[in-house]
Every structure is written in C-alpha cells, then in structure tokens.
Amino acid sequence: MTLASHELRLHGHSLTYRTAGSGPTLLLLHGIANSSQTWEPVAGALARHFSVVAPDLLGHGASATPRTDYSLGAHASAARDLLSVLDVPRATVVGHSLGGGIALQFAYQFPERCERLVLVSSGGLGREVHLLLRAAALPGADWVLPVLASRGLRGLGRGLDAVLRRTPLAPGGDAEILARGFGSLGSSGSRQAFLHTVRSVIEPGGQRVSANDRLHLAAGIPTQIVWGERDSIIPVAHGRAAHEAMPGSRLEVFPRAGHMPHHDDPDRFAALLTDFCASTAAAQLSSDHWRPSQDLG
C-alpha cells in the first residue's frame, strides 16, 4: 500500500503529510534529511490495523523550508498541531533517528497526547553520532554541502563507503543513507533547513541534546525501543542504556539491520509494532503528570 499524500498550511507554511489505513493512530516521524516516504516499506502492514499519519517535517521532503525554528521542541509542537488539525486527540508516536528525539520531546511536552512511544535508532539518547553528521555542525559546512548534494546519490554513497571502510570510521551499510540524505538537499532552502536542524541537536563533538535526565518521566508511557545491531550512525549501546533507564520499556535489536531496521526487516518491524500496541494499554497521562505530589521544601 502506498501512503496517500496531502498538503495543508500550518502557521502560514505548507506542510505535506501522508496517510493510510484506519483504526488507532500511529504518528510516524522520520529522520534528518529524510521524509515520510521512509515509512513506505511498512505502510501496508501497519495500515491493516492503524490509521497511519506520517508528516514531512518542516524543512524536509515536500514541506516548506522557511527560516524558522528547527529545534526538537518546534518539531514536536508542529506534530501536535498537525494532529489537532486532523482531529486526532491522541496517538502512538513512532520516531526514527531525529524523529526519535522529536518523539521523546513530544512525550515530554504533550504527555496527554501520547499513548505509546516507539523509538527507532533514536537520537537524543547519547553523545556518539556519525562523523559526517558532526561535520555538518562545523563552520564552513554551508559551503561544502552544495557540492555533496550535487552528486549522484548512489555514486556518492559508494564513494563514501569505499573511503570510510579504509578508516576507523567504517560505516557498514549506512553510508548510502547519509549520501541519499545529502543528495536530497537540492535547494538552498532545504540545505539551510538541514544545517539549522543538525546544529540544533549536534555539535562537532557529538549530540548536544540528551533526554537522559528525563527518561524516568516516560515510566507511565508504554515504550518500545528498536535498533539495528549494525547501526553505524547512532550506536545500539544508546538503545540498551535507554532501556535500562526507562522502567517497563521493551528493547528489540535486529541483528542484521543497520540504522533503518524498518527498511532492513520491514515485516518483522511491522509485526513488532502491531504486537506492542495490541499488548499494551494506551497511556492516559495529564499534562503535568511529572509534578511532585507534594512540596519537599
């Protein structure tokens, strides 16, 4: 099944989103320099049980690329506003990579809208991240990025893979994912949006945003963590550490998958997500559930 594309104006900007199926809502949030089309391999299986809503995050895909706030909080607010426009009060929020960081922020900002949380090779759970994304945070990346974006996607991917395999940065099968992402940045607006997004969450030394001090707040939200054992963009150790820090969470590691387990094994991914939703009760939290029950002062 192909996700059906729609467009609306949200706060004055064009936002593209894709939908399929019917039933309880899954909000699917993609990674950086990607789009809602990343969910196509699992859309058919998920649409048999759920109403799938997958936006192109602002600055990505077919959505607008304005000069605006590209922080995790801004993306989470836009996702909440999209659900409001669609009259969807609550959803299971699924986030891949950058989308995982947004999903975590969504659950923190809007817990009353979040029924479950699914983190797929998620950002925001540790310091380490691939060198090429750290490089995008460096001064001068604005000049290099148009060169990378102008080359053939697959050719660039093979070239990066060949070079990096001869260094300690051997990327496994994930270099082409980064190459496709760079290659998708065909306009000045998309490149600037990419750089603003990267620099809001990554610095030259690694990821600058961490949810680790608030993971305990997700104890009331059923949480599934999914990772590829061979992920060379964000290491699987982040998922294992988050699982330990999130009481009641589930962890599933796909042994032959890289950074995109929903692509490497879509049938298993869809079955896992379907079973997770069927076997857990949707959270029903208030917006201030995290507040202490009494003043300790």
Looking at residue 149, what is its pLDDT? 62
What mean pLDDT comes out for the span 266-295? 87
Domains of the chain listed by start with CATH number:
4-127+210-278 (3.40.50.1820), 131-203 (no CATH)
| Residue 109 token pair | 């900002």
Task: Centre a 10 Å sphere on the Cβ of residue 187 and count the other Cβ atoms it contains.
Answer: 12
What mean pLDDT comes out for the span 179-190? 84
Active-site entry in 60, 130, 259, 262: 259
> In sequence order, what E strands does the chain have?
4-10, 13-21, 25-29, 51-55, 91-96, 114-120, 202-203, 206-207, 223-228, 250-254
pLDDT tens for 107-148 read 999 999 999 999 999 999 999 999 889 988 888 877 767 665
Q: Is pLDDT at 79 greater than 90 in this prediction?
A: yes
| Residue 97 falls in the annotated catalytic set | yes
Looking at residue 171, what is its pLDDT? 43
Active-site entry in 51, 77, 97, 184: 97
Q: Where are the alpha helices (DSSP H) in 86-174?
A: 98-109, 131-135, 141-149, 153-164
CB 234 within 8 A of CB 123: yes
120-129, 150-159, 190-199: least confident range: 150-159
| Residue 259 falls in the annotated catalytic set | yes
| Residue 87 falls in the annotated catalytic set | no
Looking at residue 266, what is its pLDDT? 98
Considering only CA atoms, which of 8, 23, 12, 34 is closest in space to residue 259? 34
Rounded Cα–Cα distance for residues 57 and 162 (Å) = 31
